[in-house]
């Protein structure tokens, strides 16, 4: 049976957390899915772990890239290999509540029943520390967001997003050296209209020590370059950057 949702999990040297991530996908209730693990040339035990999971559940599909592509390229590889009409993304160190996709599908269907077809859907998330303990913060999701509102802070967490796959094929991820997910959401919303959100925290977002977002100085530089890449004037980019700093403090400090 063709899956409705293709879950794409890019991973590089993710042996610590990849099993938890994949199992949180396999535990989803009320949806027909496949889980595509895109191994971006890991040199640890990631492949052995994922292939063991695939041996026990045929919904797991292991794909190894021929060369290291970075997260943007790995996500694109997953989108191209996917079978579902929707693609959902999960980072290899994050995980989901078991009704996450079901709740998103419910919300999308409610919009479709009144003739509206949102391009993407996201949820809120709990923040957890590297060891999996609760970090004391919840990232709330607005019920609706436009591309212009996204300029006041990226409220869309990559590990919570479901996107219509045809839009991802039309607009592949680019510039893994910048905030590639932010660029992707902005361009899709700018062309196809607002995204919608399930406000509840249905994902667990891990603060790992080596992540791009955890390295605050590097992330700030990338944010500025991202705003300029999107064509914002310097004054407008400064305003967006100020909101980025405020949003980052709320996510990682308070």
pLDDT band at 178 (very low <50, low <70, confident <90, very high): confident
pLDDT, residue 182, reads 93
Q: How far is CA 169 from the centre of its chain?
A: 16
Query: The domain 5-252: what is its CATH number?
Result: 3.90.550.10
Distance CA 221, CA 241 (A): 10
Distance CA 176, CA 218 (A): 13
Distance CA 191, CA 42 (A): 35
Higher pLDDT, 84 or 250: 84
Angle of CA points 46, 52, 54, to nearest 5°: 100
* Percent of the chain residues past pLDDT 70, beyond the cut: 93
- What is the residue-wise DSSP string for 3-65? -SEEEEEEESS-TTTHHHHHHHHHT--S--EEEEEEE-S--SSHHHHHHHHHHH-TTEEEEE-
Instruction: Provide the whole-model pTM.
Output: 0.91
Tens digits of residue pLDDT in 208-245: 865 545 567 777 888 878 888 888 888 887 877 787 77
pLDDT, residue 254, reads 44
E-strand stretches of 85-151: 86-89, 95-96, 120-128, 134-139, 144-145
Mutual angle of helices 216-229 and 180-192, in 10-degree steps? 30
């Amino acid at each position: 049976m063709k899956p409705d949702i293709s879950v794409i999990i890019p991973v590089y040297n993710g042996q610590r957390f990849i099993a938890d991530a994949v199992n949180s996908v396999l535990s989803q209730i009320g949806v027909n899915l496949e889980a595509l693990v895109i191994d971006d040339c890991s040199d640890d035990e990631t492949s052995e772990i994922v292939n063991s999971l695939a041996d026990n559940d045929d919904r797991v599909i292991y794909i190894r890239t021929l060369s290291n592509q970075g997260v943007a390229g790995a996500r694109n590889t997953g989108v191209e290999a996917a079978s579902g009409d929707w693609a959902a993304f999960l980072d290899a160190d994050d995980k989901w509540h078991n009704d996450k996709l079901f709740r998103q599908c419910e919300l999308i269907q409610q919009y479709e029943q009144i003739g509206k077809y949102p391009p993407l859907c996201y949820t809120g998330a709990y923040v957890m520390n590297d060891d999996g303990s609760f970090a004391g913060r919840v990232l709330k999701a607005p019920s609706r967001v436009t591309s212009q509102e996204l300029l006041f802070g990226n409220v869309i967490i990559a590990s919570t997003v479901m996107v219509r796959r045809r839009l991802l094929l039309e607009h592949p991820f680019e510039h893994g050296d910048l905030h590639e997910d932010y660029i992707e959401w902005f361009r899709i919303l700018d062309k196809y209209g607002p995204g919608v959100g399930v406000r509840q925290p249905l994902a667990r977002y891990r603060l790992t020590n080596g992540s791009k977002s955890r390295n605050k100085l590097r992330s700030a530089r990338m944010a500025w370059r991202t705003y300029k890449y999107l064509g914002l004037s310097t004054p407008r980019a400064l305003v967006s950057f100020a909101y980025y700093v405020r949003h980052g403090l709320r996510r990682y400090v308070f």
